[in-house]
Structure formats: C-alpha cells, structure tokens
Amino acid sequence: MPESTPSLFPSGLNGGTFIDAPLTDVHQCLLYWASGNPANRDIQGRRLNEPFAQALHHLEPRFFNPDRAILVALVNGWTGFFDNHSRHFAPAAELFILCQRLKTRTCFFFHETETQGSSVFSHSTFVPPATVKERMVWLGKESRWEFHATGEPLPFEHLETYHTRRIRDRLPPALLRQYGEALGIHFGDLSQYTSNTVLLGWSSEIPDQRPHGFSSPIGT
C-alpha cells in the first residue's frame, strides 16, 4: 500500500496560488482585467473578513469550470488565491495576468495524494518592460510516471532531486514546502493566513451550473 502523505495545504486543499502583492492590488487588478480589459468574465467581489478556514466554505460546491475564488492576505505581505476548481488545478490566466500587470512574482504549488503523488511547482517572474518568465516543474502519472521541467531553474531549486532514479520521487511534498519557504511562503501553516479575505464570483455559461458565482448582484 502507498505511504500516507499529509496534505500539502491546510483544510484539505491540494493546491494554491500566491501573488507577491497586497490583497487590495490583486483584487482591483482582477476586477479591471475581467471587466473587458480584455477579458469579459463579469467578476464581482465581496469583502468577507472571515478566518481563512471559514472563508473556504464559500467555494462550495466545486466545479471543473470554477466560478468562485477566495483572496486571502498572508502575514508576509503576499496574497493567496484559491478558486473552486473541482481538482484544485492552477488558474493559468490569473498566474500570468497578475504577474504581468502588477509587475511582480506569482507561483502555484500542488500535490494530490489521491493520484499517488502528482505534484506541480509553477513560478512566474515579471521582466521589464513587459515579459513574463515562467518556470514549471511537473510530476504526474498517466499511463506511467512522467516528470517534466520547463523554463530556467530558480536559485533555490534542488536540481539533483530531479534526477532521482525513481521518477515518482522527483518532486515530493517536502521539496514543495522548501520551495515555498525559500519564497517566504509557509503555505502549510494555517496561522500564516489572515482574516483579510475577499470572495470573488464570476459568470458561467456551463449547463446546470449557476449563472453567476453569486446568487444575487453584490458590490465590491
């Protein structure tokens, strides 16, 4: 039987996105981008000011095409972004747009024990005047275990681990935690998440899915 691995994140989350910017800046950037600049997702936001574990309940139910997200301020000044994707996958558009428009760093960590250890580390860095430099390390099992790395390695990466003989051991949860700590993000520690939280919701045209992330219009 496979070894039991503790959850990478608190509250049973498999993945999380982090932006090196204050929550207010992230919130306003997403609202502007989604309001026809150039996206058209009809995002609305509502300040919660609830403990992170409590705020996560607003993400239920989850869908493969997410329609809600929580923004949470971390004690280190970063902002966390967690949407209600049913598999907790990376929000690729947000990772890129927030990096580019806020001229900062964004990153994503993922580990799913249900698939025997699929893991992802993604990091985006803004390079003036308007370039986003991306780095991704991916481990997963489809017909067999596969490991891929794209982009330029970051200084804190343990490159020797990527050559471990057994492929499934090349991106373990402990390594993801070390990468987070190198960036100043202790994402597995619930005390690092403040009660400065915002709920985002956006329109969805998927059949049988609510027409909007909220049941009624709200203010920002």
Q: What is the mean pLDDT of each run of 10 residues along the chain (220 residues)?
A: 62 95 96 74 87 95 91 98 94 95 97 80 96 97 92 98 96 96 97 97 69 47
Closest by alpha carbon to 104, among 67, 77, 86, 64?
77
Q: Tell me whether residue 213 is in a domain.
A: no
Cis peptide, bond prior to residue 38, ω within 30 of zero: yes
DSSP E strand boundaries for 10-117: 15-19, 44-47, 68-74, 79-83, 105-112
Q: Tell me whether residue 220 is in a domain.
A: no
Beta bridge partners of 73: 79
What is the pLDDT, as a whole number, of residue 214? Answer: 56
What is the pLDDT, as a whole number, of residue 205? Answer: 64
What is the pLDDT, as a whole number, of residue 218? Answer: 39
Query: Domain count of the chain?
Result: 1
Q: Tell me whether residue 212 is in a domain.
A: no
Cis peptide, bond prior to residue 129, ω within 30 of zero: yes
What is the pLDDT, as a whole number, of residue 137? Answer: 98
Q: Tell me whether residue 4 is in a domain.
A: no
How far is 187 from 192, CA to CA, in rounded Å?
7
Residue type, 163: H
Q: Tell me whether residue 214 is in a domain.
A: no
Q: Tell me whether residue 72 is in a domain.
A: yes
In the chain, where does DSSP find H-type helix?
Answer: 23-34, 52-55, 92-102, 173-182
Q: Tell me whether residue 126 is in a domain.
A: yes
Q: Tell me whether residue 54 is in a domain.
A: yes
What is the pLDDT, as a whole number, of residue 113? Answer: 73
Residue 54's CB is within 10 A of a number of other CB atoms, namely: 12
The DSSP call for residue 25 is H
What is the pLDDT, as a whole number, of residue 123? Answer: 98
What is the domain range of residue 150? Answer: 10-201
